[in-house]
């Protein structure tokens, strides 16, 4: 069995995730495909993750891909989380994950209707969706608030978890819009405000071409292995949100090859992908909260020292902004209210590394300009740095 060391895993990460300067991409789509999917829970993360990997960083090429070319699209998919993927990959992500997420969202809302006891049902929901699409077609694009103003059904409120101590009254608009987006009938368009805003407008869209679920899961597993391999079954299960059985079937169908990792456990790589790779030039990176390189594995021990986790992750396991040196997480960074970028190193990396990190921080500050970045999930170190 081929042995792939942690050092080799870090070299692969720097090259395949487009983080070393010599590996940076010329297009945003190439960046997204390099990491399979960009986390999009925070609107700013898509831009920060992409620009860290672009040879020419800037807001404009990312906005062009998202809103003009629509070569990148946002999908509620893996782990019921919002991701941005290339348009070419989107049908595979839809069939492997998003379709199941959409079905679960619909079942959950219909269950709430039944528990509410005011006569709302599947027919009522279908009519509300038709009215929403009609209103959206008339406007071209609209925010959720604008759609609610135009469609009376979206202003309906229901009682959720009636009779329980956490009973609450909720509006249905966000849930209905979420389902319509998950099913591909509408998509997120340019937001109100700047590139850091999550107040998206919505526009009509066409559902993705149909793919068989098993075939799509195999395709996604192959792409993930090319970007994140070697990795374990548990890593694939965690990243996708699949069951362990689904992850194992996808690995078998993908023809994944077993390798030995430094800790003695088995990992998996794409077919024919077990050969050593040449070393990279020294590289530094400042990556945002929820960046794919920090969140791509369940076990991150090969690039995250165990003593750093408490400072850089919140209690739910969300990664905050991280500082990298040669494939390892060595600290964290933040942006203060006045726009200053600050960072703290948690590892002793030496003068050359500190100089490279400072240069990367300057590159980030230059294209971010006057914009302000506020992560949705705050980590202990990020709070300290911005205090």
Angstrom distance (rounded) from CA 277 to CA 327: 14
SS (H, E, C) 228-269: HCCECHHHHHHHHCCCHHHHHHHHHHCCCEEEECCCCCEEEE
pLDDT of residue 47: 98
Q: Pick from 383, 336, 381: which is nearest to 361 by CA?
A: 336
pLDDT of residue 221: 98
Q: Are 99 and 76 in contact (CB under 8 A)?
A: no
Q: Cα–Cα–Cα angle for 190, 72, 9, nearest 5°? A: 130
What does the pLDDT profile of the chain (387 residues) look like in tens digits? 899 999 999 999 999 999 999 999 999 999 999 999 999 999 999 999 999 999 999 999 999 999 999 999 999 999 999 999 999 999 999 999 999 999 999 999 999 999 998 899 999 999 999 999 999 999 999 999 999 999 999 999 999 999 899 999 999 999 999 999 999 999 999 999 899 999 999 999 999 999 999 999 999 999 999 999 999 999 999 999 999 999 999 999 999 999 999 999 999 999 999 999 999 999 999 999 999 999 999 999 999 999 999 999 999 999 999 999 999 999 999 999 999 999 999 999 999 999 999 999 999 999 999 999 988 889 999 999 998
pLDDT of residue 35: 98
Angstrom distance (rounded) from CA 365 to CA 281: 23
List, as one string, the DSSP characters of 83-104. EEEETTTHHHHIIIIIHHHHHH
Neighbour tally for 11: CB within 10 Å: 19
pLDDT of residue 374: 86
CA-based R_g, the chain, Å: 22
Whole-angstrom CA distances from 19 to 49, 56, 188, 212 are 10, 13, 28, 34
pLDDT of residue 375: 87
Angstrom distance (rounded) from CA 124 to CA 130: 10
pLDDT of residue 343: 96
């Amino acid at each position: 069995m081929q042995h792939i060391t942690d050092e080799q895993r870090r070299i692969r990460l720097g090259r395949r995730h487009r983080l070393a300067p010599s590996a940076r991409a010329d297009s945003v789509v190439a960046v997204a495909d390099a990491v399979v999917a960009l986390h999009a829970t925070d609107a700013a993360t898509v831009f920060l993750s992409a620009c860290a990997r672009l040879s020419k960083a800037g807001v404009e090429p990312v906005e062009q891909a998202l809103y003009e070319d629509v070569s990148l699209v946002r999908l509620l998919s893996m782990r019921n989380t919002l991701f941005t993927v290339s348009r070419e990959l989107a049908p595979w992500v839809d069939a492997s994950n998003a379709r199941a997420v959409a079905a679960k969202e619909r079942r959950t809302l219909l269950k709430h209707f039944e528990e509410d006891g005011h006569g709302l049902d599947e027919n009522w929901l279908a009519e509300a969706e038709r009215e929403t699409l009609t209103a959206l077609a008339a406007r071209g694009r609209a925010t959720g608030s604008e759609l609610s103003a135009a469609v009376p059904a979206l202003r309906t409120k229901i009682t959720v978890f009636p009779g329980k101590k956490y009973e609450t009254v909720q509006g249905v608009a966000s849930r209905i819009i979420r389902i319509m987006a998950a099913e591909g009938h509408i998509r997120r368009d340019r937001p109100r405000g700047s590139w850091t805003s999550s107040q998206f407008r919505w526009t009509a869209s066409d559902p993705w071409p149909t793919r068989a679920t098993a075939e799509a899961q195999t395709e996604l597993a192959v792409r993930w292995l090319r970007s994140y391999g070697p990795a374990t079954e548990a890593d694939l299960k965690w990243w996708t949100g699949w069951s362990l059985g689904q992850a194992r079937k996808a690995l078998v169908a993908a023809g994944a090859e077993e390798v030995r990792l430094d800790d003695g456990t088995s990992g998996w790589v794409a077919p024919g992908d077990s050969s050593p790779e040449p070393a990279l030039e020294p590289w530094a990176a400042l990556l945002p909260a929820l960046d794919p390189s920090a969140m791509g594995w369940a076990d991150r021990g090969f690039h995250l020292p165990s003593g750093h986790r408490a400072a850089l992750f919140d209690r739910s396991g969300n990664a905050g902004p991280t500082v990298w040196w040669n494939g390892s997480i060595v600290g964290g960074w933040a942006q203060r209210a006045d726009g200053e970028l600050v960072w703290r190193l948690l590892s002793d990396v030496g003068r050359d590394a500190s100089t490279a990190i400072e240069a990367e921080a300057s590159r980030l500050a230059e294209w971010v300009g006057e914009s302000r970045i506020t992560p949705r999930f705050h980590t202990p170190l990020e709070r300290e740095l911005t205090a």
